[in-house]
Structure 1
Amino acid sequence: MKDHHIEEQYAKTSWQASIDLPAFEQLNEDLHVDVVIVGGGITGITAAYLLVQAGMKVALLEAGKLLNGTTGHTTAKITAQHGLIYDELIHFGKSKARLYYEANTEAMNFIQNTIDHYQINCDFSRQDAYIYATTHQYRKKIEKEAEAYEQLNIEGDLVHDLPFNIDVENALVMKNQAQFHPLKYLAHLVKVITDKGGLIFEHTVAEHVERGEEATVLTRGGPRVTGGHILSCSHFPFYEGVGFYFTRMYADRSYVVAAKTKSEYPGGMYLSVDQPSRSLRSMVIDGEERVLITGESHKTGQGGDTLKHYQALETFGEDVLGIDKLITRWSTQDLTTIDKLPYIGPLTSWPSQQNILVATGYRKWGMTNGTAAAQLLAKLVLKKKSRFEDVFTPSRFYADPSLKKFFQENLNVAKHLIEGKTDTTHKEINDLSEDEGAVVRIDGKRKGAYKDKEGELHVVDTTCTHMGCEVNWNDGDRTWDCPCHGSRFSYTGEVVEGPAEKPLQKVDHNMLESFIGEKSGY
């Protein structure tokens, strides 16, 4: 059942709808600062906060609005329990796996200490975190993960029941984790940044870097910002240098439904390890408890009918807790590296790029990974040592299993590149209903068409401006999504998420009118 009439109701996430964030001007002149930060999410804001506290002059550039990207669409679990991860990481060495746990635990404690210090009212609460299995296959994986906990001296307990109507084989609990309202927390850090003299600019798109002893960020429209260090804290690095990040990460989408439930929520944060995944946590907005139901992950552009993912989550919520009222829903996107560890540190190992730092690839665990990234970046800028440098360095490469994963992901890209070029399925443009998008053919060429609620057609070229793959229609979010590297575009062709930097080409209006007239027999 398609439910497009709720677009306006679901225009914002629960976090965004419950807080008024400050607005900032677009950059309109050249600047010289100590540090230039690109990206206004949890990493960029936390890094700016740490650096202004250290007395540095900082400029933060955000392409759109602060906290409107991945951070604004998170489920905001603050935990070092990141699914089935430690049994995998232990193969890279116990010390690296343990350091990953410590980095995320320290990040969690930093968040709580910051909240306590400023007395930030952001609904912070300690919660136990659970991963659970509903099949025999994943029961074994949970047991292996529990063994990894024991080897790494991570506190955790195997249990066999959950306080829900879910038949589980087993579950693994990591106690005393946390959750909060991320935008209320970060809005306070923004205030501290500006009070300390930090500069923040919205609607300022960073496009390129001029390298040097002092590097310069070139922005769309002309203004330049020069600094001793540049921190790339955008979702996908706005500048890759020779890092080839698009070959070493893949983009993954997942879906969130916020609902008022009939049954009282029992507390805790829960994540299934079976596929498709299911995640649960509670939140309080305007005094009303809501439950966030999350899951249905798939690679960007490869999810088919995206509305079915929302419907599957609604069905799950009804079965487990009963849904009294649907409040809102949204989707989110994150990047996963080939070894599942974030890339945090110098952009490349080249000496000329050591003052350009990057943070990306959080694998949907951005609250702790993003905070840990900001802490590490700040230390690198301040020339302080960190025991986490080698774990997260972007120049790392583990031959096994990283090499195998590298080839798997890039074969997947090649497959979708070829499929897109040879795709013969399309819909007739005159058959589109209002609020419907589809691939069409115009003069034999593949195009993307969307007819809005007023009946106006928006037609774009479907060739992604990043590497030339063909984008697919996402009917749940009304976007054109690239199945190769995760770029996303609005139905008018504007870039929503990178690595693409340029919009999709729009079809000439006169050409479109002529084509429609021919199809109509005029």
Structure 2
Amino acid sequence: MMTESSFETFPQFPESYWLASTELPSFSKLHSDLKVDATIVGAGITGITTAYLLANQGFKVVIVDAGQIMNGTTGHTTAKITAQHDLIYQEYLAHFGREKTKLYYDANLEALQFIKQTVKTNHIQCQLSDEDAYIYTTSDEYVEKIASEYRVYQELGITSRYVDQAPLPFSTKAAIVMENQAQFNPVPFLTFLVEQFIRKGGQIYEQTTVSGVEKGKPAVVKTKDGHRITTDYVVSASHFPFNDRNGFYFTKLHAERSYAVVGKISKDIPNGMFLSAESPKRSLRSVQINGESMLLIGGEGHKTGQALCTFQYYDALKSFGEGTFGLKDIAYRWSAQDLYTLDNMPYIGQELKDEPNIFVATGFRKWGMTSSVVAALLNSKLILGEPSPYQELFSPSRFKADPSVKTFIMQNANVAKHLIAGKLEMVHKDVDDLQKDEGAVVKVNGKRAGAYRDHEGALHLVDTTCTHMGCEVDWNEAERTWDCPCHGSRYSYEGEVIEGPAKKSLGKVH
């Protein structure tokens, strides 16, 4: 638990620098039926890039989002553009073989080059800078793992180096370097794509929740408010697929949260982007804020809804920054949600084999800047009827016995455990015990309820049963949200859906 003095060193509310740095365009809610060539559900980097590519090919495209554009994981990223996705290549080599592992690297390298070229050609001011990406270790246990990963890099022909000491102000045992990667601010980049998309006749609707889709060609996308979008193609780019029960994604994905702080440091900002091999993870990169160089520190991942005190993760990042870089004056803090597949490979492409006009993109495992562009490039090609070497690799209908079966069993056992535990949990907190700006699970009329008392003292009471599949949500102190430990749905303190797979708000308690 954070002390009162340490809490005071943080911004009171979470805020992403990326979203604060750029004035976003706003769009109205959908108020009528539509007929288009393609419907993109989700206005993050995946959906916006997909829509941009299809509009460039003359498609009539609409994007609908349940909230505001870029306000999901896209706006809360560390914004590293790299094919170095942790120590993943050795694992992929064992599970998928050399050819598919090389395809994974090639797909992400292509995405990196797409972003770089788009920025360069259009002179987009988004703080894009070429950087080497490092995975480092301070533990003897991980030295051989890094050496093994480097050998896979060499086998795949990845431009890389192995060093003992990374350019960091503390001692490292080993590091692997993937050269010529990049970092940027994704919001001005995507704002440019949105402007071009609108110029080509594209439409965007915010605050428009999709409730389902009627299959067929054309398909019909249905909204929560009863409107219908008749469309030849549908792309689910909504992070957690909006029609998750269609492909049983709630059994094949799990959600994790991670955290970031940005602030001034007393030491020189190192050149490069850095990630620790061991846990707890430490992700490092520089950020330019008002002409001043600051350090972004990310990490501290855990399964959504399965943490007792979420402030402890911000405090851990702060303590690490103070001890290693002389971190001071934290300017921003935020958290993000990421989805993991059973085999750690994203699901991208045709959702089901018998539904050739419905596509999905999910499971980016904290590496959404390149994976999202991989998804946009692949799904737009498939819609255009063009071949892609990556189609089979990312196919959502794949199911590998190793490691998918074991992960499937463990993941769904974890869901069952939390479903049962939430129903049996003893609640001892009383509504009258809550201070201002405090939330907790309480008992109201003998039943479990969620309560938050805001800064003015007003009480907000909600039913804690998640509207997705009936698990019990818990209070997220650092974000002031209700989070589901089963499938990662998140709600505001008033019960409104922030993040799916849930589509309906939590019930009100009086």
TM exceeds 0.5?
A: yes
- Measured in 2, the distance between the counterparts of 1:377 and 1:173 equals 30
- Measured in 2, the distance between the counterparts of 1:324 and 1:412 equals 38
CA deviation profile, 1:288-320 (whole Å, cap 9, x unmatched): 212111000000011220001001101111111
Shift of 1:454: 1.1
Tell me the residue number matched to 1:62.
Answer: 65
CA deviation profile, 1:123-178 (whole Å, cap 9, x unmatched): 11100000111222222221221122122222222211122233322111101100
- Measured in 1, the distance between the counterparts of 2:204 and 2:11 equals 29
Q: Do the aligned partners of 2:124 and 2:192 also contact (CA within 8 Å) in 1?
A: yes
Tell me the residue number matched to 2:39.
Answer: 36
Alignment partner of 1:376 is 2:360: no
**Stretch of structure 1 that moved more, 470-479 or 220-229:** 220-229
Please point out which of 482, 488, 507 is paired with 2:490: 488
> Structure 2 stretches of 5 or more lacking a match?
none
- Measured in 1, the distance between the counterparts of 2:368 and 2:402 equals 26
Shift of 1:218: 0.6
Please point out which of 1, 13, 17 is paired with 1:14: 17
Paired residues for 1:132-211 under 5 Å? 132-211=136-215
> Structure 1 stretches of 5 or more lacking a match?
509-522
Shift of 1:4: 6.3
Alignment partner of 1:416 is 2:418: yes
Q: Do the aligned partners of 1:4 and 1:435 also contact (CA within 8 Å) in 2?
A: no
Shift of 1:393: 0.4
One-letter code aligned to 2:248: F
Tell me the residue number matched to 2:107.
Answer: 103
- Measured in 2, the distance between the counterparts of 1:118 and 1:174 equals 26
Tell me the residue number matched to 2:293.
Answer: 289
- Measured in 2, the distance between the counterparts of 1:135 and 1:184 equals 38
- Measured in 2, the distance between the counterparts of 1:462 and 1:254 equals 23
Tell me the residue number matched to 2:329.
Answer: 325
- Measured in 2, the distance between the counterparts of 1:393 and 1:12 equals 35
- Measured in 1, the distance between the counterparts of 2:290 and 2:398 equals 46
Tell me the residue number matched to 2:442.
Answer: 440
Paired residues for 1:69-84 under 5 Å? 69-84=72-87
- Measured in 1, the distance between the counterparts of 2:33 and 2:286 equals 45
Q: Do the aligned partners of 1:164 and 1:321 also contact (CA within 8 Å) in 2?
A: no
- Measured in 2, the distance between the counterparts of 1:246 and 1:186 equals 29
Tell me the residue number matched to 1:511.
Answer: none
Q: Do the aligned partners of 1:37 and 1:233 also contact (CA within 8 Å) in 2?
A: yes
One-letter code aligned to 1:501: K
Q: Residues 43 and 445 of structure 1: is their aligned pair in 2 closer, same or farther, counting only changes over 3 Å?
A: same
One-letter code aligned to 1:440: V
Please point out which of 467, 471, 474 is paired with 1:472: 474
Q: Do the aligned partners of 1:44 and 1:233 also contact (CA within 8 Å) in 2?
A: yes
Tell me the residue number matched to 2:311.
Answer: 307
Q: Do the aligned partners of 2:133 and 2:272 also contact (CA within 8 Å) in 1?
A: yes
- Measured in 2, the distance between the counterparts of 1:396 and 1:38 equals 23
Shift of 1:8: 7.1
Q: Do the aligned partners of 1:253 and 1:332 also contact (CA within 8 Å) in 2?
A: yes
One-letter code aligned to 1:330: W
Tell me the residue number matched to 2:260.
Answer: 256
Secondary structure of 1:502's counterpart equals: coil
| Aligned structure 1 segments of 4 or more residues deviating by more than 4 angstroms | 2-9
Secondary structure of 1:390's counterpart equals: coil
Secondary structure of 1:26's counterpart equals: coil
- Measured in 1, the distance between the counterparts of 2:219 and 2:460 equals 40
Q: Do the aligned partners of 1:86 and 1:97 also contact (CA within 8 Å) in 2?
A: yes
Tell me the residue number matched to 1:387.
Answer: 389
Secondary structure of 1:175's counterpart equals: strand
Q: Residues 5 and 430 of structure 1: is their aligned pair in 2 closer, same or farther, counting only changes over 3 Å?
A: farther
**Stretch of structure 1 that moved more, 263-272 or 232-241:** 232-241
Secondary structure of 2:87's counterpart equals: coil
CA RMSD of aligned residues (A): 1.4
Question: % of aligned pairs identical?
Answer: 53
Tell me the residue number matched to 1:265.
Answer: 269
Shift of 1:416: 1.1
One-letter code aligned to 1:315: S
Secondary structure of 1:324's counterpart equals: strand
Q: Do the aligned partners of 2:14 and 2:479 also contact (CA within 8 Å) in 1?
A: no
One-letter code aligned to 2:49: T
TM-score by length of 1: 0.95
CA deviation profile, 1:6-37 (whole Å, cap 9, x unmatched): 89754531011111111112111111111011
Tell me the residue number matched to 2:404.
Answer: 402
Shift of 1:425: 4.2
